[in-house]
Amino acid sequence: MKKEAVSSQEATEYVIRRMSLTDLPQVIEIERASFPSSWSFTFFEQELRYNQLAHYFVACRREEGKANDEILGYLGLRILAGEAHLTTIAVKESERQRGVGESLLIWAIEFAQQMGASLLTLEVRASNLPAQSLYRKYGFVEVGIRRRYYIETGEDALLMSLEDLTSPSFQAHLKQLKQNLTDKVAQRAKA
């Protein structure tokens, strides 16, 4: 994927790019603040170095049209045999509710499409209602429950799926949601 930012982000304060090893200290900081049982530095390092099915991206603050080194959020995907799985997504606490997570989700959907996936799945904590709401907004539906999926708390995970990523109706829906996000971010910038 050659482009640095999703088209809906041209007016935003951040850029999405591939995660690098030098990003890991900030990624781990966000990871630990976001999840009770966080992935380790070594896990991310192994994923970046050796897992050819894994794709990780970071959202960085934009300055003078370019990304700087401050990481606002990140995501991870695995893609295999026409299916994509969103393995992780997190946003720095001070940057939540500002469109960063939604932009990362758009990026994941578009990247999955470009990699030939027609299906995108994810797990989300049963208690994480804001994330579930965002996923439903983009067309994800609950397709199952993974009982006691989160070992540290015993909490269930909802398995959610977004099918037909390339259908004309989904593409029109995605285009409208991207425009809505761009408008919302622009309005906030004017305020």
Q: Which residues are catalytic?
A: 123, 135
pLDDT single digits (tens) 27-73: 999 999 998 888 999 999 999 999 999 999 999 987 765 556 899 99
Q: Where are the alpha helices (DSSP H) in the chain?
A: 24-34, 41-50, 100-114, 129-137, 168-190
9 pLDDT exceeds 80?
Answer: no
pLDDT reported for residue 8? 41
How much of the chain, in percent, has pLDDT values that exceed 70?
91
10 pLDDT exceeds 70?
Answer: no
User: Taking residues 109-133, what's their average pLDDT?
Assistant: 95
User: Taking residues 139-146, what's their average pLDDT?
Assistant: 96
78 pLDDT exceeds 80?
Answer: yes
pLDDT reported for residue 37? 81
Q: Where are the alpha helices (DSSP H) in 16-162?
A: 24-34, 41-50, 100-114, 129-137
As a whole number of angstroms, the distance between CA 54 and CA 76 comes to 7
Please count the residues of the chain.
Answer: 191
Please check whether the domain covering 7-185 is classified as CATH 3.20.20.140.
no
- What rounded mean pLDDT belongs to the chain? 89
Domain locations in the chain as residue ranges? 7-185
Q: How confident is the model at residue 4 (pLDDT cuts 50, 70, 90)?
A: very low
Global confidence as pTM: 0.89
5 pLDDT exceeds 50?
Answer: no
Between 8 and 111, the more confident residue is 111
87 pLDDT exceeds 70?
Answer: yes
